[in-house]
Amino acid sequence: MSNYNEQFLKQTPLAVLGVLRDLHGNQVPIRLSWSAGQFITKILDVSQGQLVMDFGSQAQDNLAVQKAENILFTAETQGAKVEFTLPNLQPMQYLNLPAFSSPLPPTLWFVQRREYFRITAPMHPFYFCHTKLPDGTLFDFRLCDLSLGGMGALVEGPLPEGLEAGMRFSKVEIDLVEWGKFYFDMQLVTLSERTVVDSKNQTISTPRMSFRFLNVNPAVERELQRIIFSLERSARAKADRVR
């Protein structure tokens, strides 16, 4: 069960069909996952009565998924994320090639990227992140805000030399303290500065980085959503106490 807001749930046959036709027309890769495995597929054909998808690249995966139940499908387009579940898949022939078929899902999630909720990280305790630069140097920074799509971070001191937008980092460790440590592949999107005025009316500028998460699997994404909701509840409770 996804934790998205109900407003992003497409529940009419025409709405579901429209989203799937867009995925088909744009040849968007779709990640198909179940309890024992996953692979990438794409939609070969879609109509009001049937959804047809390509076989995966590995024969063992194609056999295993035929025994699976409650299969999760996720797709990332330029402007939105699509997610739906099918109870099972049936093998078939499509244009003389092996494929899978299923009735259309009764509902699906269509979450526009601008709707990814972003929560500010608490000031205490700090959530620190650790990775390595291309030359092997350790690079530490502090989580500033968090969403399903990525995160903002602050750097104490000057930025490392050579750091630039577009760089990719593998297995960045994010220590979320009470929720444990998480590891993400991510891409640096922008470099900027956060400017605040302190109690002495002095302006303090801190280097800020924005990252996009790469290849986040559904289980980790759901855990992130749970953490974000929990942080939001804590922030609201704190604000109510201040009032």
- What digits encode the pLDDT tens for the residues 138-195? 999 999 999 888 899 999 888 898 898 889 999 999 999 889 999 999 988 888 888 8
Look at residue 243 in the predicted model and tell me its pLDDT: 56
Q: Which pTM does this prediction carry?
A: 0.54
pLDDT per residue as tens digits for the range 86-122: 999 999 999 999 999 999 999 999 887 655 667 888 8
Do residues 105 and 135 touch, judged by C-beta distance below 8 A? Answer: no
Residue 54 clears pLDDT 70, i.e. is over it: yes
Residue 242 clears pLDDT 70, i.e. is over it: no
Q: Which amino acid is at 234?
A: S
Provide the CA 40 distance to its chain's centre, in angstroms. 16
Q: List strand residue ranges (DSSP E) for 55-167, in order.
A: 71-76, 80-86, 90-94, 97-102, 108-112, 119-120, 128-132, 138-146, 150-154
Query: C-alpha dihedral over 10, 75, 146, 35, to 10 degrees?
Result: 100
Look at residue 235 in the predicted model and tell me its pLDDT: 75
Q: Which stretch of 1-15, 26-40, 224-238 has the lowest confidence by average pLDDT?
A: 1-15
Instruction: Report the distance separating Cα 214 and Cα 168, nearest Å.
Output: 9
Look at residue 22 in the predicted model and tell me its pLDDT: 93
Instruction: Report the distance separating Cα 40 and Cα 152, nearest Å.
Output: 29
Helices (H) and strands (E) in the chain, counts: 3, 17
Instruction: Report the distance separating Cα 197 and Cα 202, nearest Å.
Output: 5
What band does 1 get if pLDDT is binned at 50, 70 and 90? very low
